[in-house]
A and B are shown apart, each in its own frame.
Chain A
Amino acid sequence: MEGISIDLISNERLDELGGDKIRFIIDAVKKGKVMVLEKGLTPAEELELIRVTMSEIDHDHFIGLETPGFSGNVTKRTFLQRILGRTPSPRMMVVGPAHLLRTIKKDGRTIQAIILTRDDRVMKEELRAVLEE
């Protein structure tokens, strides 16, 4: 069956993965999956995700990630968190292949993203072929 797989990953599954979390996400995204992580990643894990992604971009099949997630958002810290300099726990995160997923709008509360259809991608490839001629 043709289509794009969207995997919703629970907190429990993410916790089970432990140190293999980044590898798990990148392997899935390289297979063309869009993932919704219930708990998201810590800022350090997000940076590691970017680092590993950069080392695996091959410019033909994998051009990186689109991550329209809320992240460990620092914009809404409680008074106690401010005093102690702590960041809130990570929140929901969406991550997918950059050639398939586009963030349309994102603020502290809402994420709007689209998954490009096969027609969109074919049209883009055809346009590229014309431009390169």
Chain B
Amino acid sequence: MGILDNVLRKLRGLFRKKQASIGIYGPPNAGKTTLANRISRDWTGKPLGKTSDVPHETRHVKERKEIVIKAARSRINFDIVDTPGIATKIDFHNFVEDHGLDPAEARNRAKEATEGVIEAIKWLDRVDGVLLVMDSTEDPYNQVNVTLIGNLEARKLPTIIIANKTDLQGSNWGSIRDAFPDHPTVPVSALTGKGMDKLYSTMVDHFR
């Protein structure tokens, strides 16, 4: 996002009346719902959705309205939108072979997952900012990450990159920061809560 865009966005923000929507985006199994649950629990006391080791657990968009985050004598009000993971391929065989699902259940999950990706893409038109979740144990240059970053920039949507899963061995959040240097990157373990305070202060600074 360019400096001029940042200035214009801040000016527009001064006059914004409506409740902002912050979308949580990323590839499958990056930890989007774990992060959504962490944010929702921290500020409303209630989780948002079910998590699983099987990819594409979230197959429909879920919202938690009117979250208020307070940090450093400031605050932001927003709705959080947890979206299905965006993928370029979905093979039901993987659910059977890698996760032991029954073939019929796997086919149904794959069908719903394709619909979920389409729904997530449509929601890009409705969100005002994005938390882009990446798995810090994996190569940041996957096609979904790069395509999403390109689209968020083209739409001029304020974006914070979440380098998630820092609690896992092999985590390298610096590789994400180096791959996408134009956006703030916050290392987080949504599972343990480590790094969430830094994320909240970054959200207040960036989305306000």
Contacts and interface: CB of A to CB of B under 8 A. Distances in A.
Interface string A71-82: 111110100011
Nearest to A46: B147
B179 A85 contact: no
25 contacts: A42-B154, A43-B151, A46-B150, A47-B124, A47-B151, A50-B87, A50-B147, A51-B118, A51-B121, A54-B114, A55-B114, A57-B89, A57-B114, A59-B107, A59-B111, A65-B88, A66-B88, A67-B143, A71-B146, A82-B2, A85-B4, A85-B153, A85-B156, A86-B2, A131-B97
A46 B110 CA distance: 21
B91 interface: yes
A114 interface: no
B43 interface: no
A131 B96 contact: yes
B181 interface: yes
A84 interface: yes
Contacts of B88: 50, 53, 64-67, 98
Most chain A CB inside 10 Å of its own CB: which residue of B91, B117, B139, B141 = B141
A47 B90 CA distance: 16
B182 interface: yes
Given A47-B151, A98-B89, A75 B118 contact: no
Contact of B150 (A68, A87, A128): A87
A66 B91 CA distance: 12
B145 to A, nearest CB: 10
B86 interface: yes
A126 to B, nearest CB: 13
A74 B141 contact: no
B111 to A, nearest CB: 7
Contacts of B124: 47
A125 to B, nearest CB: 10
Given A64-B90, A85-B2, A44 B151 contact: yes
